[in-house]
Chains A and B, each alone.
Chain A
Amino acid sequence: MGSSSTETKMMRLNVEIWRQAGPSDGGGFESYKVEASPDMSFLEMLDVLNEKLMADGREGIAFDHDCREGICGMCSLVINGQPHGPENETTTCQLHMRNYKDGDSITIEPFRATAFPIVKDLVIDRSAFDRILQAGGYISVNTGAAPDAHAVQVPKVQADLAMDAAACIGCGACVAACPNAAAMLFTAAKVSQLALLPQGQAERSSRAIAMVDQMDKEGFGACTNHYECMAACPKGITVENIARMNRDHLRASFTSRD
């Protein structure tokens, strides 16, 4: 790619990237040099690097991404030790290269957790999250069986808290940031959302038990209150949700009829 006069601010970066051919491969870091413009997104910097690698006959670096506007939850990456990089409440796809300067070194790794096996390079398998939600992260209502939407009022405060929790994009940064690789923030966000709404009450107890059981089964660690999850969350999900889930789980353990 040629450079035009508008790209005079190009910076040269040294990047160390985790390469791993497949799930059973050992893997290791490889070093690359790449030129980036400050207006590029972080993933566009990787695009440019991949184009360069492929032009040299080398396979590009595999990384997950899709919407590139911070909502699908597909992108990940631990950047210089931080899931989704240095910017507060920002996914990797929304991170821009103006956060870096000429000559910087950047280390890029996959999200690491036993429950998130590596598929290839920076791509991981997060299907454990799907299975946690399959265990009970829904309200059982068949299509067409719903009452009128105004049949039940929901106080605005409750609705807003439910929306705060529902904003989770399922990216897994909370797990990657946690020293125990716990999935408490992810699980709690869904348990909380549904527990805060009147529609979610019927299955409130069974849901909390089933989802926490599944979370443990998947091999995620336990919560020891580091709050790194909250710091890493690109959607600002708070640990209050974990407290809410713990209360529900405790109460359900004593009162559940299952």
Chain B
Amino acid sequence: MSPATLDSKVPTGVPLADAWTRHKFDLPLVNPSNRRKFTVLVVGTGLAGSSAAASLAEMGYNVKAFCIQDSPRRAHSIAAQGGINAAKNYKSDGDSVHRLFYDTVKGGDYRAREHNVHRLAEASVSIIDQCVAQGVPFAREYGGLLDNRSFGGAQVSRTFYARGQTGQQLLLGAYGALNRQISAGRVEMKTRCEMVDVVNVDGVARGIITRDLQTGEFERHAGDAVLLCTGGYGNVFYLSTNAKACNVTAAWRAHKRGAYFANPCYTQIHPTCIPVSGHYQSKLTLMSESLRNDGRVWVPKTQGDTRSPEQIPDADRDYYLERRYPSFGNLVPRDVASRNAKAVCDDGKGVGSTGLAVFLDFRDAIQRDGRDTIAAKYGNLFQMYERITGEDPYSVPMRIFPAVHYTMGGLWVDYNLQSNLPGLFVLGEANFSDHGANRLGASALMQGLADGYFVVPATITSHLAGASMQAVSTSDDAFAEAEAASRDRFQKLLSVRGSRSVDQFHRELGQICWDKCGMARNQAGLTSALSEIRALREAYWQDVNVLGDGASLNQNLEHAGRVADFMEFAELMVGDALHREESCGGHFREEYQTEEGEAQRNDEAFTYAAAWEHKGDGQSHELHKESLTFDNVKLTTRSYK
């Protein structure tokens, strides 16, 4: 394979600000009466999937959509709390498309593709218009205009929000649009239905194999394009803020059928989550990072200080973020805050029964502003914290610890959001394109909706209009082969009848990834993780215990299939982290840091996206590089001192 296959297809010879407009003009069109001749398969119904399915159906394409939950409305986009960025400049505080573009490229530590990011910033404006028209109840000021707040260290107020439930409201808006098309007969919706393979015919993605989770039946679906909108892979770590069913299966199956996986080592660890309380812990809960506006982060100065926090005088407390980063203090970016929490806990100063937590203390804010003011700002978060931990954060400092939250890596896509596998498009968190090595707050919702509402409906013609596509039938050999392979895999899982549960294996895999490919990574740890993962995977297929049968609802079998894919994916993630000999964004290699302990990029050697090609089971992946060029921003070192 030559690197020429990694053509990003960004428009050349056009100024960045005009590139998307020009590209849309240059794309071929499919006329309205011809659109009904095409069938598009949309996998996943979060923000990206719902918005894409609805928009394509409105345009006249036939759409079949699939989700694993009992309703499209339950996709994990629903859990996003904070907000969605848009360069509306309604506050007249100097925001612009260019500034949002600039902030996002810089926030991504210069590892994203400029053209995609600029297009994202452009689309942000239309997203807000679209959502308001759908009846999304964004927060408003008394004059009836939309309210904004600041977020994630940006110096402008550009974040639109619907209380602490912005993701829910945006998803329900997109789900409404999808419902309208289902009702019109333009979208066929399959729920509790999991994609288990992609089918290629003559090197083009022409269909998928699904497994009905209620009946266990395998089905073949043919189409003219496949859109994967299946989210991120954070659950490879077992514990994360992701929903329990989030998985890498669709992306990984597509990868094994030829789609390159890019930058899997870019994972985001969110600093403010409720810590683990015991071995039974099933997931972690995020506490909005807005808490760091008023809460002060500290640990006791000496190891083994077991006094209760209110008994520890200021002189014996280490407000380590304020000490190390006097100008940003507690408001340093997510990756920096997370790494520092890990460092103090590694140093034996962590608090709580596990020693894996730091305090987030509102004592001073309550003294300064009064309890009522703090309650008005954070009341619902304090209540959620108390419900989970049984402690009252008004009188006892919160205990927090970082947790896996989002994954920037994903399937490689070009400017059209098409993977290297023709006919396969990838949207939202499932692709790698817009956030580089670190995502800024309130940008995930923006990307999911930009991809679904505005990008793919325009770019899908690059695939559909050009090719003279042969009709495919689900009786084609390629469908039969893919279905048989899927059946075998599930049958095999059912037939092991070993001694350890799927959950035990998943936890063990998660622990390896968290310890050795988490907030800080080094060569020795990553190398040992590779062999540990291989050994665990082998043990999995020898000793996993999956009960029941494949002919009815079997949640244990569903989980087993997903963990099997995580077992393979984890090796690629760790391998990517090992190969990237620099620190950038969410990827911190201990060998590559400044004297002050900050991330040190190596722009000369690593200003590229690493896209990995699957060469067969047991074979090494082949690396393809997409060089990243920065013509519109200057590469600098982020500093928060």
Contacts and interface: CB of A to CB of B under 8 A. Distances in A.
Interface stretch (B50-58, B260-268, B326-334): B50-58
A51 B504 CA distance: 9
B277 A39 contact: yes
Given A138-B180, A153-B144, A170-B73, A44 B547 contact: no
Interface stretch (A142-150, A217-225, A247-255): A142-150
B140 A146 contact: no
Interface stretch (B163-171, B475-483, B529-537, B613-621): B163-171
A154 B135 CA distance: 11
Interface in A115-148: 119-120, 123, 125-127, 129-130, 133-148
B380 to A, nearest CB: 11
A125 B183 CA distance: 19
A59 B169 CA distance: 37
Contact of B145 (A127, A129, A150): A150
Interface in B503-546: 503-504, 545
A67 B78 contact: yes
Nearest to B68: A66
A125 B503 CA distance: 26
Interface string A194-236: 1001011000000000000000000000000000000000000
A65 B27 CA distance: 43
B74 A66 contact: yes
A254 B280 CA distance: 57
Interface in B248-293: 277-283, 285-286
- Interface residues of A, dominant DSSP: loop
A57 B499 CA distance: 10
Interface residues of B, number: 83
A150 B128 CA distance: 10
B58 A143 contact: yes
Contact of B135 (A21, A133, A136, A139): A139
B530 to A, nearest CB: 28
B489 interface: no
Interface string B141-176: 111111000000000000000110100110010011
B90 interface: yes
Contacts of B278: 6-7, 37, 39-40
Interface in B168-211: 168-169, 172, 175-177, 179-180, 182-183, 189, 191
Interface in B114-157: 126, 128-135, 137-146
Interface string B413-457: 000000000000000000000000000000000000000011001
Interface string B377-396: 00000001001111000000
A68 B76 CA distance: 11
A77 interface: no
Chain B CB within 10 Å, residue with most, of A43, A67, A163: A67
Contact of A134 (B88, B165, B182): B182
Contacts of A6: 278, 353-354
B245 interface: yes
Given A40-B278, A127-B191, A193-B137, A66 B145 contact: no
A121 B447 CA distance: 38
Interface stretch (A90-98, A105-113, A238-246): A90-98
Given A66-B243, A130-B71, A153-B143, A47 B280 contact: yes
A187 interface: no
Contact of A1 (B243, B280, B286): B280
B462 interface: no
Nearest to B457: A143
A143 B54 contact: yes
B282 A166 contact: no
B132 A146 contact: yes
Given A54-B545, A127-B191, A148-B129, A37 B144 contact: no
Interface centre among A37, A57, A166 (most CB of B within 10 A): A166
B501 interface: yes
Contacts of B21: none
A119 B214 CA distance: 8
A47 B503 contact: yes
Interface string A38-80: 1111011001100100110111101011111101111000000
B346 interface: no
B94 interface: no
Contacts of A150: 90, 145-146
B607 interface: no
B180 A140 contact: yes
B553 A120 contact: yes
Q: Kindly name the residue among A43, A133, A137 whose own CB sees the greatest number of chain B CB atoms within 10 A.
A: A133
A18 B552 CA distance: 18
Nearest to A155: B144
A54 B502 CA distance: 10
A144 B126 CA distance: 7
B217 interface: no
B172 A67 contact: no
Interface in B47-70: 51, 54-55, 58, 69-70
Given A41-B282, A130-B179, A141 B277 contact: no
Contact of B280 (A37, A64, A156): A37
Contacts of B51: 143
Contacts of B182: 134
A117 B130 CA distance: 36
B288 to A, nearest CB: 12
B304 interface: no
A162 interface: yes
Most buried by A among B144, B280, B457: B280
B555 interface: yes
A96 B388 contact: yes
Interface in B583-602: none
Given A59-B548, A143-B58, A156 B282 contact: no
A98 B142 CA distance: 42
A232 B255 CA distance: 45
Contacts of A40: 278, 280
A59 B547 contact: yes
B290 to A, nearest CB: 17
Contact of B179 (A133, A146, A194): A133
Given A54-B501, A133-B176, A133-B179, A163 B137 contact: yes
A166 B177 CA distance: 15
B106 to A, nearest CB: 27
A59 B90 CA distance: 56
A74 B74 contact: yes
A123 B547 CA distance: 18
B547 A58 contact: yes
Interface string A1-27: 100101100000000000001100000
A60 B560 CA distance: 13
B135 A193 contact: yes
Contacts of B131: 149
A200 B134 CA distance: 8
B280 A149 contact: no
Pairs of residues from A and B, 9 with the lowest C-beta to C-beta distance, nearest first: A153-B144, A138-B176, A146-B133, A143-B55, A163-B137, A146-B129, A162-B137, A149-B132, A159-B140
Given A130-B71, A138-B176, 8 more contacts: A40-B280, A67-B244, A68-B283, A72-B76, A139-B133, A146-B134, A156-B140, A166-B172
Interface of A: 1, 4, 6-7, 21-22, 37-41, 43-44, 47-48, 51, 54-55, 57-60, 62, 64-69, 71-74, 87, 90, 94, 96, 98, 119-120, 123, 125-127, 129-130, 133-150, 152-156, 159-160, 162-163, 166-167, 169-170, 193-194, 197, 199-200
16 contacts: A4-B279, A37-B278, A44-B281, A72-B79, A120-B553, A127-B191, A130-B191, A134-B179, A134-B183, A135-B183, A138-B134, A143-B453, A144-B130, A145-B133, A193-B137, A197-B135
